[in-house]
Structure 1
Amino acid sequence: MNYLKFTLFLVIFSIATVKYTSAQVTVGVYSNGILTQLGAGTDPEKEFFGEGRLFAGDVLNPFFGAEAIGQYNFHRSDWYNASAGLMLGYYEFDDGARIGAPVMLAFKPISNHRAFSIMMEATPLYNGDFGLRGNFGLRYTIGKN
């Protein structure tokens, strides 16, 4: 039942964050070939931004998981952004918390539509054991001109 409290916290946090970030929110879908994540977050063009993710399970992986990610953009340009940050999460499969340090590259390939980006992410993880997760995804910023 702890994951329900965590999910409620993420929903309330996301609503509060969207209210105070000039109505710009990002939505994304990420995959590493095994797990798929659905995300929503704040404006990724700001110096600091955040995102909440839920694991979208299927028949092979029906387990629940949620993550909260805080990122710092150390390079922003018209064509790509590079950022790094901290990730805290819960995953039902291994019954516990996990912590990570995601490093992301967001490519904006369409010159007259910068709200769309292609994401690549590498995250060193710790949940009792060390691991490395690589994600590929698509992200769209709603409300961006």
Structure 2
Amino acid sequence: MGDLNSYPKEDPLLVLTDYDLARYAYYKIAHSDYNYLGTTLLNARTITGFGYHDPFVNQPDTGWTYSFKALGRLDYILLSPDLLSSLVTQKIWHINAAESNLVNNSRQSNRNREINSSRVGVGVSAMRNMTSVFSSSDHEPLFIELK
């Protein structure tokens, strides 16, 4: 659970979820023969994933959790096969990533804020200083409910 810094079809997520060499025959995941200490790895080839399930995978229109020049997803809650049948609902709370840079202090330099304030007016400063759950991060929170 969390920001895995990988998009859904990149190697880390494929290995954690549904990677199967037969299914992804066009795409072989190979690891380095050695780790950074020079020790030989136990398994240098991946032929199958760990089988965790991503309950958000079938939400193409609302399934994004991050925005940087385009919408994408870097955040996950992965369920073991045993927990999948207990899933009641899943939700992405869109309160952060789509927030305007005008009111989001974490995404602009001070110089850009000064320019926007001079162009837009007095209310911008008040909006930026409001305390709420919105613009609390540059990622969207994910929620699941299990029975």
Shorter-chain TM-score bucket reads under 0.3
Q: Give the number of the structure whose residues are more often helix, by fraction.
A: 2
TM-score, scaled relative to structure 1: 0.26
Larger Rg: 2
More strand by share: 1
TM-score normalised over the length of structure 2: 0.26
